[in-house]
Chains A and B, each alone.
Chain A
């Protein structure tokens, strides 16, 4: 029974992948709506607000893609996905693109038959400890109790890190982020580990943020990015280059506010190509000339999106760090629009 169901599923998947290859772009256009697999509960990255409108760093990328493809940033349907359901939702065609803080790993890219088309946030696992513990480096955490979410890659990273440094720890396993914070605040563990962006927002939410420090060590690489299905390369290109248009716009100083002004006055040939004033860049992907202009106008360039949702001015207050432009010592680097 089990085997036949499995085989049936496999056959159906293969068939479906075949169908899906027919063109996500055409589907989206015909539907008049982009279906975006979203996170419903990640502070700053993706969550509905009090009115039920999705907001966040990842959500703004969904909007940019919708603006590029459909000409309207509001034509997005957000399908809530959980850690368990996200990849099946994408593979079965329930969503067109998954923009939900998913870590790019080898097996997800190859074995699960997905394409990670870009990295919109470079994250990494860090530690938070109470100041009065007197620890300034993660390597001094020998013998510490550590609050850790079960069933995540962070759990494995933690084990690897302590093993590599030949120190010991006692894990206190918790179900989710809020429980971890609660246990840590109640003193059930000395250190709390998760992605650095999560640590920052958890710290903000504490009663006494000043009494907690985030240790300098980042013990893993967590490149988070939008994911599409294998096999539909044109759709992958659209998502990838929409994202790069946002990055390039920041590099070129194109913002939501000045985009029309720049379009009217620019002499930079690359800016002209991005904004669709020269060449036929859009047509190469089956879009019109102004696709990138609309994507940038939707929520602003990469830097604006970052600052509006998770940047230093927000309560979450993340620094750009690795996510700065390559010209500023970060890793965000858009290939040339040519």
Chain B
């Protein structure tokens, strides 16, 4: 090859050029995401128009909002004065005046520290469940909740003594979280009794007696378990505990109360309302429905005909009946079946039926998780020589529950929102019950959107929180490296 046949060879590098304007930055993003085709462009423009229309309609209303007034009429006067005649505006003053009813119902104002403390303790009790043994997470959770609890106490103007009490309790728990986070599980175990005592008050010995019954149950189970397996000792323990609860407890606790009359002012159930009620029903039903649901799901898979039939029957019956029917049963029908003049608390009746309702759904969600496990997992558990309960505890449930997390959490979210249905049986839920009561006041009659927006925002906050946590949990438990 001769030299002359050599073509031109560039000796220096071309300076780098930026990408064409349609392939970078905002333009690229817009092109790809909003205007990638004619159809999409049309939809984008329509969407923008709708958005504009919504903002245009609601923004002046939101901006003209009034926070300081004593009645809707006053709100209207203020809006007319500031924004001109005929302008519309939100009357948030109603929330400013009545927020405590949306939060606590008719719970006595001087006792607001009790629901606040039990709400804070609920998060402490949840900590070991959500972040078992994680010191940093536990400290963060308990610390944040403690600070928030003390702040909200200041907000509801609790007296100094109770402020100090709550602060001391939360500090103590923070120390526990810092030194031995695993011990927080004890808070979880006693929380149902503590929460009940704080919210309803009365003698301290009642909840203590109930806890003692569970103590008997666990003690019997632990003693007999090595010899008789899992189920039989649990049944014996249950019988013994029931004997204690039904026959002995009342006389013993009455005697104890006579010796040491400790307790808080008793609060009647009909003073519960607003989000306090939603949380009492929601949290109790959620925590009760998970274990019952697991047992039902296992029962449905069982080889024993009776257990299987009972589980299937229960699940299908409860799932086939709307929640409202259950609520009406709780409020109306049960009254007829109970002996006359028994005053079986309405909230308790509702909680029991809502828990049963939720557990049927949870059972089906968990059954889905169980069904998704390959047969090999069961066989592997058998091959290792594990008995039924060991296999469930160590092999099956951890995997099945992990698969079921999204389903379980969405059941919980649904359940929490369903607590507003209790308005139909005359309980003061935040959405309808309290809103109606507030509207019955002539000062706020005619108010419409504000309570819905306020209550909806709070519901959103909690449901969104639950949903984010479930996504965190899924990521944390993801072990398949897919």
Contacts and interface: CB of A to CB of B under 8 A. Distances in A.
- Same complex for A and B? Answer yes
Given A20-B340, A202-B445, A41 B333 contact: no
A62 to B, nearest CB: 14
Nearest to A78: B270
Main secondary structure of the interface of A (DSSP, over half): mixed
B72 interface: yes
Interface string B437-470: 1011110011110000000000000000000000
Nearest to A22: B340
Contacts of B315: none
Contacts of A40: 426, 428, 433, 436-437, 440
11 contacts: A9-B336, A40-B426, A41-B440, A77-B270, A82-B426, A88-B332, A89-B332, A89-B426, A92-B332, A176-B436, A207-B76
Contact of A43 (B268, B331, B441): B441
Given A78-B270, A93-B335, 8 more contacts: A41-B436, A47-B437, A80-B428, A85-B331, A89-B335, A94-B335, A178-B446, A205-B446
Contact of A80 (B340, B341, B427): B427
Interface in A188-223: 201-202, 204-207
B424 interface: yes
B277 to A, nearest CB: 12
B101 interface: yes
A103 interface: no
Main secondary structure of the interface of B (DSSP, over half): helix
Contact of B445 (A15, A19, A176, A204): A204
Nearest to B97: A50
B101 A52 contact: yes
B98 interface: yes
B270 A80 contact: yes
B122 interface: no
A175 B199 CA distance: 34
Contact of A92 (B97, B335, B436, B441): B335
Interface string A74-112: 000111111011001100111000000000000000000
A1 to B, nearest CB: 9
B271 to A, nearest CB: 7
B440 A42 contact: yes
A13 B442 contact: no
Interface in A296-334: 314-316
B336 A16 contact: yes
B337 interface: yes
A94 B338 CA distance: 12
Interface in B185-218: none
A43 B448 contact: no
Given A88-B335, A178-B448, A93 B442 contact: no
Interface in A18-62: 19-20, 27, 40-44, 47-50, 52
Contacts of B447: 178
B106 interface: yes
B364 to A, nearest CB: 22
B424 A82 contact: yes
A205 B445 contact: yes
Interface of B: 72, 76, 97-98, 101, 105-106, 268, 270-271, 328, 331-333, 335-337, 340-341, 423-428, 433, 436-437, 439-442, 445-448
A65 B448 CA distance: 35
A238 B423 CA distance: 32
Contacts of B424: 82, 84
A78 B270 CA distance: 9
A253 interface: no
A85 B332 contact: yes
A84 B324 CA distance: 12
A8 B427 CA distance: 26
Given A12-B336, A52-B101, A92-B335, A79 B426 contact: yes
Contacts of A205: 72, 442, 445-446
B441 A47 contact: yes
Contacts of A316: 442
Given A19-B340, A48-B437, A81 B442 contact: no
Query: Of residues B333, B340, B447, which shows the largest number of chain A Cβ atoms within 10 Å of its Cβ?
Result: B340
Given A12-B336, A40-B437, A79-B426, A27 B442 contact: no
Query: Of residues A15, A27, A40, A85, which shows the largest number of chain B Cβ atoms within 10 Å of its Cβ?
Result: A40
Contacts of A201: 442, 445
**Top 7 A-B residue pairs of the complex, sorted by shortest distance between their CB atoms:** A52-B106, A205-B446, A47-B440, A205-B445, A41-B436, A92-B335, A41-B440
A242 interface: no
A149 interface: no
Contact of A315 (B268, B328, B426, B442): B442
Nearest to B106: A52
Contacts of B337: 8, 12
Contacts of B72: 205
A8 B101 CA distance: 39
A42 B337 CA distance: 31
Contacts of A252: none
A182 B447 CA distance: 9
Given A82-B424, A181-B446, A16 B441 contact: no
Contact of B440 (A43, A82, A94, A181): A43
A18 to B, nearest CB: 9
Given A41-B436, A52-B271, A205-B442, A16 B101 contact: no
A98 B328 CA distance: 19
